[in-house]
Structure 1
Amino acid sequence: MPSTPDVCAAAARRRRDAATLRIGGMTALTTIDFPGRLAAVLFCQGCPWRCGYCHNQDLLDAGVPPAIAWADVQAFLQARRGLLDGVVFSGGEPTLQAGLPGAIEAVRAEGFEVALHTAGMYPDRLAAILPRLDWIGLDLKAPLHRYEAITRVPGSGERAWESLRRWLASGVAGECRTTWHAGLFDIAELHALAQRIAALGVTHWALQACRGGGASASLGRYDIARLASHFSSFTLRTA
């Protein structure tokens, strides 16, 4: 058993690390970002990838000063005990920041469950925090050979697919998410992607299909039915 001084030192280290987390924004209440829970969302600043369809462009620059101090987040959460079930770390890319593990521990110490939204760009960092997560939403962007055209970063696909494997091996609940645009990869590749991730063990898949902006193909009923057939839970969204 750790001694009392060791426990106190570990707690102090978590607080110190958590205080470095750069938060670009916060949603005080969500019912959709952490399924089955009432949660707050913390949007972490910074992402090394540059996907053209990113909805959070203002969070990409890791050097932007935080919009919300960690002390203010803690005060907010302490005031929401008994009202919220959990906290979602989203982004940007939360695993970019060294302060994330400490922030997760600090949130759990307040009695909240923890969810993570990630693109899986750092498999080792993800593996280290998976035991402390209650739910994960993993953004799998494309078949492996299409990744670099989307993220504009070499090797991004290998890292994302490795994160997918590590998450599935962990047993942590969650869903896989994909944004599809016909200009990025075609319907045949989308069907192949669905089959591949289902074979790996994905049971919950959320597909966001883009409309307009050069999306020359759309999903018909037959395509949707085929895609859904691979999963126990399938959600289709449009953007």
Structure 2
Amino acid sequence: MIRLGGWSRLSTCDWPGKLVATLFTQGCPWRCGYCHNRELLSPRTPPVVDWNAVRLHLVRRRGLLDGVVFSGGEPLLQAGLVEALREVRAMGFATGLHTAGAYPRRLEQLLSAELLDWVGFDVKAPPGRYDDITGTPGSIRPAARSLRVLLDSGVPHQLRTTIDPDQLGPRDLADLDRWLHDLGGGPTVRQPVRWLSTAGG
């Protein structure tokens, strides 16, 4: 099943306008310098949260929660994500995803299967600065493809960018806005960098 490194039983900020449970999945292929969930980076770390505990919580919160958001880490890394999304939807919850788009084919499969009601997409930087921010050579290619897939899907979404002023300056943000405009996407919601982990047990 899906590997979880933490969860928030109730969140008002992970899906705008929704009351949700947020599940933090284990593992991420990128190494952003400002990452505030570093304990989630390794896919080999033993899971902290048992899926059965999540299932029981959700059953008890039917009618109280609007949905469930899969965050991370990078949820698209998880082989069990499809099964988890289907189970959550079968319980009657809307499904959301936080992703940086490292695996565009998997994102496309989820969107095509209509398993996602909303996506929060982390746009890291303008194209020329992607590798600097992610610490991973070639990261702009899957990110750009995933962004295109998302924009073409018509699924409701929010584009957001974490701002570390030591890494992204006004010129970078202007380049970012121009790139997104050319793609047909709106400007990103700016998020100040946070250094404290949000993944709870």
Q: Does 1:191 align with 2:179?
A: no
Structure with greater helix percent:
1
1:43 aligned counterpart, secondary structure: strand
The structure with the largest alpha-carbon Rg is: 1
- Answer whether contact 1:24 1:44 (CA < 8 A) is retained: yes
Shift of 1:203: 2.9
Q: Give % identity.
A: 52
1:100-147 per-position Cα deviation (integer Å, ceiling 9, x unaligned): 011000100000000000010000000111221111010010111211
Q: What does residue 128 of structure 2 align with?
A: 145
1:116 aligned counterpart, secondary structure: strand
CA distance in 1: counterparts of 2:23 and 2:179, whole angstroms:
31
Q: What does residue 176 of structure 1 align with?
A: 159
- Superposed structure 1 runs of 4+ greater than 4 Å apart: none
1:131-168 per-position Cα deviation (integer Å, ceiling 9, x unaligned): 21111010010111211122121211111111110000
1:7-34 per-position Cα deviation (integer Å, ceiling 9, x unaligned): xxxxxxxxxxxxx200111101111111
Q: Does 1:160 align with 2:143?
A: yes
TM-score (norm 2): 0.91
Counting matched residue pairs gives 192
CA distance in 1: counterparts of 2:175 and 2:150, whole angstroms:
21
CA distance in 2: counterparts of 1:72 and 1:182, whole angstroms:
39
Taking a change above 3 Å as real, the CA distance of residues 175 and 143 of structure 1, as seen in their structure-2 partners, is same
1:29-70 per-position Cα deviation (integer Å, ceiling 9, x unaligned): 111111221100000011111111001011111111111111
Q: Flag the structure with more relative contact order, 1 or 2, with Cα contacts below 8 A and sequence separation at least 6.
A: 2
Pairing partner for 2:76 from 88, 92, 95: 95
Q: What does residue 84 of structure 1 align with?
A: 65
RMSD: 1.4
Q: What does residue 56 of structure 2 align with?
A: 75
TM-score (norm 1): 0.77
Q: What does residue 57 of structure 1 align with?
A: 38
Residue pairs, 1:1-239, within 5 angstroms? 20-130=1-111, 131-203=114-186, 205-210=188-193
> Which ranges in structure 2 are unaligned for 5 or more consecutive residues?
195-201
- Answer whether contact 1:51 1:151 (CA < 8 A) is retained: yes
CA distance in 1: counterparts of 2:3 and 2:193, whole angstroms:
30
Shift of 1:204: 5.7
